[in-house]
Amino acid sequence: MPQNEWILDVLSDLKSFASANGMSALAEQLDDTKLIAAAEIASKSDEARAPANGNEGRFEPDPRGVGRHQRA
């Protein structure tokens, strides 16, 4: 989702600032955070491309209800 990719730029800027100001542990953490953010953005993008019927791969409750007794 392109509208969420701005966060990657922000994380890069924060990492650059941390590196330039001697905060190496923070810079490394921000690098890891950027990877996690990129993975989650990609995951959301995959969800947006779900099948057109919208039901495949999703849990849907049984229309008969839970706990109802069925008779033959």
Tokens of 6: 């701005």
Q: Which one is predicted more confidently, 8 or 47?
A: 8
Confidence band of 58 (pLDDT split at 50, 70, 90) = low
What pLDDT, on a 0 to 100 scale, did the predictor assign at position 47? 74
Domain ranges, ordered by start, for the chain:
2-48
Q: Which one is predicted more confidently, 58 or 49?
A: 49
pLDDT for 60 beyond 60: no
What pLDDT, on a 0 to 100 scale, did the predictor assign at position 4? 86
Residue 11 CB neighbours (<10 A): 19
The model's pTM is 0.60
Q: Which one is predicted more confidently, 53 or 5?
A: 5
Count of alpha carbons within 13 angstroms of residue 9, beta-carbon side: 5
